[in-house]
Chains A and B, each alone.
Chain A
Amino acid sequence: MTNRRRLIAPVLRQLAGDPLGLGRAAQSVRSEELTPRTSTADRVVQSVCPYCAVGCGQKVYVKDEQVVQIEGDPDSPISRGRLCPKGAASEKLVNSPMRETKVRYRRPGGTDWEELSLEQATDMIAERMLRTRRDTWEEENEDGQPLKRTLGINFLGGATLDSEENYLIKKLFTALGALSIENQARI
């Protein structure tokens, strides 16, 4: 049915001035009604590319609470709307088929992942941090000078975390006395 519908219009149009059927006469209804998904998105949000440090502006198009397109933001004086292959592939990063969205847990000596709720994982991690902190606490050095720390907990952060996130991480870990807080920036 749809085929016939699609076909009828071109035939009529052919009679109307496209005798060879190469132009308008051949245009299907779908082609005629085609609209880009950027114009049908529910909203567009200004963002910044998560890969290198040039900081290219991105426009993120969202439809039904899913990112449907990411492209360069022409307003950005840094990038003028352009993106490299990584920036251009950001939508596939966000929607990667390999992205894992469930918490996973592996017990000591385990040979496979198990499931765990986010709340339970947070509680277990908090418990382990406090236990490790207690067991490895250094109050002062041999000269009686303050150390007030643990070297038993190590943090290694990537350089794609936001500054606000790093700020709270440094703040909390410092308050814990966990000293060895490191980052890709060292690597």
Chain B
Amino acid sequence: MKLETHAWPATYGDRAQPRMGFFTDTSVCIGCKACEVACKEWNQIPMSIKGFTGNSYDNTVALGANTWRHVAFVEQTLAADAREGESLVAVAERQAAIDAGVHTYQEGDGLRWLMASDVCKHCTDAACLEVCPTGALFRTEYGTVVVQQDVCNGCGYCVTACPFGVLDQRKDDGRVWKCTLCYDRLKDDQQPACAQACPTNSIQFGELSQLRERAEHRLAALQDAGQRKAQLYLADEQDGVGGAGAFFLLLDEPEVYGLPPDPVDPVRDLSSTWGAAAVATVALGAGLLAAVFGGRR
């Protein structure tokens, strides 16, 4: 199992810690959003009310500068003759379902409600980190990827580089904010706030190697129980980001949850070559300039 990244553990020598991560088991997520709130509480994130979205019970919309954990709600209807893209109302009208027979909404014959807590993936091949010109983004001794608020100048390169759309600039601030995997808490042997809060242990924090092992067992159990589409997401080092520090057990295809099916680190082709170093050096140079001359707001 490949866990090594460009910077971890090599650059830390004796100070390197085991690579830590999240295993988010969406099969036991009850959609309570404790993770969203616990994260905001710990990281003192500004409130941002987006209003009623109508998107099931999701009113925080997506991961962003002010939402570092985000719970997706997917109401799946398996109506036999539903057409792609058709609204529920339209289906009902067409079926004249008012007079239709009575069915229960059990999985397989009607409806299921999937919930999944999304987060920064802390990729093994992390594009954000690789393109960051200031050194604001760095890989920690835990193998996680963190934006340093005292360094970030808000250039936004990382925002476009991230294949998941995780990185985001805060409007009134300009800087980029995202999940730090509670870097500060880790230093004090505490769990990240979201994992600590999660009522059903859907969010599990721990050493990545152990989490992957646990996830394999859980996947096998679910598949045995007939969850045919159950799958691990970002637990494979062969994928486009080299696997991730935060990976998921999904009950359906990633697209269903709004996750990219085949995420790719856009600067990956350059990796393991001098190219990566060149990108990084340029980035560091830009960072020097930005830091020295750009100043801080």
Contacts and interface: CB of A to CB of B under 8 A. Distances in A.
Nearest to B38: A88
Contact of B7 (A24, A30, A34): A24
Contacts of B137: 26
Given A38-B188, A83-B38, A85-B33, A28 B8 contact: no
A87 B34 contact: yes
A6 interface: yes
Contacts, number: 142
Interface stretch (A15-23, A132-140, A150-158): A15-23
B34 A83 contact: yes
Interface string B7-41: 11011110100000000000000001110111001
A23 B7 contact: yes
Contact of A89 (B5, B37, B196): B37
Contact of A83 (B12, B15, B199, B288): B199
A70 B283 CA distance: 39
Contact of B32 (A13, A19, A25, A84): A84
Contacts of B146: 31
Q: Looking at chain A, what size class is its interface with the partner chain?
A: 35 or more
Nearest to B12: A24
Contacts of A84: 32, 34, 197, 199
Contact of A26 (B36, B138, B190, B292): B138
Contacts of A88: 34, 37-38, 41, 193, 197
B187 A35 contact: yes
A90 to B, nearest CB: 8
A2 B136 CA distance: 15
B130 interface: yes
A24 B184 contact: no
A35 B33 CA distance: 26
Contacts of A7: 288, 291-292
